[in-house]
Amino acid sequence: MNGNNTSLLDCDDLATGNPDAVRILLVIILGGGACLIGIALNSFLVLSFSRLSFVYSNMLYLFLLACFDILVEICFMLIFPLSLIWEYYRIETVFVIWHHYIRYVSTAGQVLIAASTMLIVAASFERYICSLQSTLSFTSRNRYITIFGVMVCAMIMKGSIFFELDLKSYPECPMFAHLGLDQSTLTEIFYYKEIWMFWCRSFLNVFIPFALLLFLNSATISNLSKSSKEVQQTLLPSPMHTPLQPMPSSGSNSAFTARRRKRDATRTLAALVSVYLLTNSLNLFLTIMEFINKDALDNIADGLLYR
């Protein structure tokens, strides 16, 4: 649709109405409130990590996850609650600014979400290897290479979202209808839409990480349980135990403390991954339904719950 052929009826279709109460409740109150709480809690984690020597430990993954979560929550606030604000209060300046930065913020948010997912997979893999052999450790150089690879992969997978969105201008339309955001012609290419957007991007960013985390988390918890039982058996007094038996040395105590710290870190990560799997189950279901029968999602509650 170009500017010269836009009819008055088309302008009416482009104009946005006032947001309904359900959207305001879900997006601004619940979504915005959750983001503010998340920003506060993750900021507290970042400050806590700054007091530790996390740069040379596996806590580096958790530090980056906290930073990425803060940025993702900021992106959410800039995209969804702010759009409802200019829709409801009819603020012209916010309307124009929102349409000009939405492609950048949306792309950045998607890249950060993909990077966070892959960081969790990388951290889970490291914890899984350590659960197999408690004395094994990863070097900081390996972690930096992994983080660099994660960021490159995230930008490759999600960076193209910027080119999938197109800002359209309709100068003959009135305010709040003279700008619009639509999918670009790139998304109309069959091979790009079907092969890249779904089969490649969805599988690499949704299905494969979900399956890997499910396996790694289950295997790590299983290995951790076996390791805990072995440690308990070694601490129990044997039938041949006598007061003359030598006590453990300080070196063995240090090794035991190191293994215990690794197990605690593994438990923390396992809990984090479990929460991730639980929260992404809905995302996994929606991704499958979008490919199988998207119309069924659009018809839920007349489109109020899924848009």
Q: What is the pLDDT of residues 5-34, one digit of tens each?
A: 555 546 766 666 677 788 888 889 999 999
Beta-carbon contacts of residue 126 (< 8 Å; ≥ 6 apart): 58, 61, 138, 143
Q: Is 198 exposed, middle or buried (0-12, 13-18, 19+ CB in 10 A)?
A: middle
Under a CB-based contact definition with an 8 Å cutoff, are residues 137 and 188 in contact? no
Q: Is 254 helix (H, G, I), strand (E, B) or coil?
A: helix
Q: What is the pLDDT of residue 289?
A: 73
Beta-carbon contacts of residue 302 (< 8 Å; ≥ 6 apart): none
Q: Which residue carries 């135990």 as its tokens? A: 241
Q: What is the pLDDT of residue 100?
A: 95
Average per-residue pLDDT for the chain: 81
> pTM value?
0.81
Whether 259 shows a pLDDT value over 50: the answer reads: yes
Q: What is the pLDDT of residues 190-212, one digit of tens each?
A: 899 888 988 888 888 888 988 89
Q: What is the pLDDT of residue 115?
A: 96
Q: What is the spatial distance between Cα 123 and Cα 120, in angstroms, rounded to a whole number?
A: 5
3-state secondary structure 171-189: CCCCCCCCEEEEECHHHHC
Instruction: Give the CA distances from residue 255 to residues 28, 249, 250, 258, 266, in Å, rounded to whole numbers and listed in that order.
Output: 50, 10, 9, 5, 16
**All structural domains of the chain with their residue ranges:** 14-232+255-303
Pick the CATH number of 14-232+255-303 from 1.20.1070.10, 3.40.1160.10, 1.10.287.1060, 3.10.20.30: 1.20.1070.10
Q: What is the pLDDT of residues 105-117, one digit of tens each?
A: 999 999 999 999 9
Q: Is 212 helix (H, G, I), strand (E, B) or coil?
A: helix
Q: Is 32 exposed, middle or buried (0-12, 13-18, 19+ CB in 10 A)?
A: buried
